[in-house]
Structure 1
Amino acid sequence: MTAATMKDAFSRAEVVSIWPKLDRTLVNNGRRPAVDMPPHLFGAVWDVILQVADATATKPDYAAIAYLTAAASLIGGKRRASPYGLDWSEPCILWCAALGDPSSRKSAPLDHMTKPLWALQDAAKEEHDERKREYAAEVERAKVERIAWQDEVKQLAGSPGGTPPMPTIAVEPEPPRERRTVISDATPEAVADVLVGNPQGVLCYNDELAGWLESFDRYTSGGRPFWLSAYGGRPHAITRKGAGTIHIPFNGVSVLGSIQPDKVVDHLDGANDGLVPRILWAWPDKLPPRPQTVRVDRTALEAAYSRLDHLGWGEDEAGNPCAKVLRLDDDARDVFSEWEISNAANDGEGSSLFASFAGKLGGLVLRLALVAELTDWAFNGGGEPATISLRSLSAAIAFCEDYAKPMAQRVYGDAAVSSEDRNASLLARYIVKNGFRTVNMRELRQHPHKGHLKPLQAKGAMDAAFEVAQDAGWIRPAFSRDGDTVGQPRKDYDVNPAALGGAA
């Protein structure tokens, strides 16, 4: 055979791969893809959300859920949404979680959208300081009046007749409570103490939401019952040893925070008591770093927050403060009734956690519609709305159908995957992201890889992930020693070229 015929034969020969078939599904491991955040629910605030997304190199999701939670916390107990104007009404309370890997820049957009809440709190400090001075004067006056009353009682000692009652002015007043818009201490006692002076409710903002989730069962005073009550805005009482009982007419706490996907899984196991399925999840795809192109202008956002904060209370028949109830207008009511039937027919699809989440969507739709209606008023002015429009309701329903449901399926579906498969999926994504041709188990346990592969650092997790990846055709052992040295060989693994887009 001549050289020419040999070359021709080789060019026509079938290439046989020495690698097994690559399982490309390992990268996502059945995880539902992220969906885009729909803008219609947000109205005029959407421009600010896009500016924050641009400034933080993130998708709009994180800034959007931060706005929803912050706005809900300012409305709080002052307004409720009712579908039919009868007994059922929902408080303006939202729990939202920003999911993403440690380098997803989750915190920055949340900070942007909650920063004006701190400004509102600081602005109230001057008034609080003045009230403290008034309180000190009232205490001194009460002391003087009490002494005068005591002298009067002494003068009457031994004489017939009743004891004169202590005058009201002799009773020391309660100290003034500080205006709080944001808290981070999630113990029931600490939250209850804040709510006594902030009856409209408050935002519990935790950059690491795992601590809040862990707090449910940490306290003997009843963490889970307290937080279930806090989502419903129900009256609540906490008895403290030696300090009496705190009575809270409106236990209303909106919650915002960030968490990593691998950490949230630990809190989903056995969590189907109705508490975790109340969370609205945002888990967008991570964006690469990029330069900021526009400056964030929070002027309109700050004005809107202030307007929501200054919403007044209604009054009950006895003249006591109570929530004003906004019912759906006639068109919105009919649409909501039809959607409820459709949602109930499909809420059994998927896992039990998702079924529980979907079963609670009626209340979430009403809460989101209330925020949307008052957002439009806060940004655009005019008279305060007395009902919730079809526009706001339709936007809330579309948001839940097109975003909230798919995101919940993404979160709960990830929880259904075994930890070994999740870790192998993380390893596969890390290989593709960095374009590794070889990987070494020991090196992946060290800087700079260790921080990106935290779940794999647990005992046995790295070995299990490598085993799954090898079975899926992603890697194969290529152990070697340097020269004629003795001891354990280097545990190098070759990466299947097909995983990086090449030929195996």
Structure 2
Amino acid sequence: MKANGYYNHPRFPLEAGCGLIEEDSIAFTSDSGKTTETPSFPLEIFPKAIRDIIEALEEYENYNVDFTAASFLTVFAAAMGNTWSVRFMTGWISRPIIYMVLVGSPSCGKTPPLQQAVAPLLKLDGEYDMTYCKEMETYRRWERMSAKQRERHSLPEEMKMPKRKCHVVVDSTVEALIGALRDNPRGVLIYKDEIDSLLSNFNRYNGSDEGYFLSLFSGTPFKYSRKSNNEHIFLANPYCSIIGSTQPGRLDEQFGGKRMMNGFSSRFLKVYPEIDKMPSWNDTAMPDGVLEEWERIIRKV
């Protein structure tokens, strides 16, 4: 470990293949001392229907397979949320919580596959918002009525304020995230095109922000108190995945130093493929139904 706090690891050198720094080499040295090629994303983990979509996006849209597959994996996991878990042994239960960051130089094609992967969840959230607005309109109308008016319109004496249902959270404050987790026990996905907009705000208003995300990765229960309104929130099974992108030159600042020592950096899967040329336009049209199939899969999940 270097004393200057640079992102480093005693077993692996700082190579582009490890997602650490920007270099021409894509090889890294294993424990045996042998030099191997940087592995690409193992597409065989996906069922054929998803593999076909990823390969079609590569063929017709020139999407990088590693960026697309990593984005699809994270979004699929977020769609599952708390509905599935794995018990490795008594007391050791894990859920599909993923912290993912796509690493590459500007204009290398990180954003399009990320946007494509998240699109079905955002579309669902748009539908949820329409329902929420209607429910809030009904609630506000009920709130303005007197007891006699409610009785006259056959409305209940008590009515709970509607909760905003969502899959994706873009507000990076811990307070907003905790509220979303409370209202969505199935879980949420933090989606940041630039992950720095999340990391740079850590500890700005609350010195324990980073600690919350360390705990969230394990899905361990925790309590949160909002001093503003004296509200106490208990999350028994918090689920939160994270996905975003960054540039190679920002890795040391974002994941080095203390964040490497306390395990924060290790929680993030860093996808840093070797890209020898920037993606270009493709005149061949995408076959009908490819993107619709991805949306159908996510809605089913």
- TM-score normalised to structure 1 length: 0.48
The residue number in structure 2 matching 1:216 is: 202
* Structure 2 CA distance for partners of 1:130 and 1:211, relative to 1, 3 Å: closer
- Taking the TM superposition and a 5 Å limit, the aligned residue runs for 1:118-157 are 118-140=122-144, 143-144=146-147
Root-mean-square deviation (CA, aligned residues, Å) is 2.7
2:214 aligned residue = 228
Identity among equivalent positions (%) equals: 23
Structure 1 residue 175: Cα displacement: 1.7
Tell me, what secondary structure is at the counterpart of 1:217?
coil
Which residue identity is paired with 1:102? P
Structure number with higher relative contact order (C-alpha < 8 Å, ≥ 6 residues apart) = 2
Query: Which residue number in structure 2 is paired with residue 71 of structure 1?
Result: 76
1:35 equivalent in structure 2: 39
**CA distance in structure 2 between the partners assigned to 1:246 and 1:70 by the alignment:** 30
What is the deviation of 1:56? Answer: 4.2
User: In the alignment, which of 273, 280, 288 is matched to residue 262 of structure 2?
Assistant: 273
Counterpart in 1 of 2:172? Answer: 186
Could you say if the C-alpha distance between residues 184 and 214 of structure 1 is closer, same or farther in structure 2, counting changes exceeding 3 Å?
A: same
Check conservation: 2:41, 2:70, Cα contact below 8 A. no
**Structure 1 counterpart of 2:296, one-letter code:** A
Query: Residue 61 in 1 paired to residue 63 in 2?
Result: no
Alignment of 1:85-100 (within 5 A): 86-100=90-104
Name the counterpart of 2:291: 298
Unmatched tracts of structure 2, length 5 or more: 1-21, 29-36
Q: Within 5 A, what are the aligned runs for 1:250-399?
A: 250-267=237-254, 268-271=256-259, 272-286=261-275, 287-292=277-282, 293-295=284-286, 297-308=290-301
Structure 2-normalised TM-score?
A: 0.77
Q: Are the structure 2 counterparts of residues 137 and 234 from structure 1 closer, same or farther at C-alpha, using a change threshold of 3 Å? A: farther
Deviation at 1:221, TM superposition (A): 5.4
Offset from partner CA, 1:316-354 (integer Å, 9 cap, x none): xxxxxxxxxxxxxxxxxxxxxxxxxxxxxxxxxxxxxxx
Task: Verify the 8 A CA contact 2:194 2:245 in the aligned structure 1.
Answer: yes
Structure 1 distance, partners of 2:137, 2:23, is 63
Q: Distance in 1 between matches of 2:232 and 2:285?
A: 48
Instruction: State which structure, 1 or 2, has the greater radius of gyration over its C-alpha atoms.
Output: 1
Distance 2:147 2:264 in 1: 51
Q: How many aligned positions are there?
A: 260
Alignment partner of 2:83: what SS? strand
What are structure 1's unaligned runs of at least 5 residues? Answer: 1-25, 149-168, 309-504
Return the offset for 1:251.
2.4
Q: How far 1:124 sits from its partner (Å)?
A: 2.1
CA shift for structure 1 position 113: 1.0
Amino acid paired to 1:258:
S
Write the letter of the residue equivalent to 1:213: L
- Opposite residue 257 of structure 1, the aligned amino acid is G
Is the 8 Å Cα contact of residues 52 and 112 (structure 1) preserved in structure 2?
no
The structure-2 alpha-carbon separation of the partners of 1:61 and 1:129, relative to structure 1 and needing over 3 Å to count, comes to same
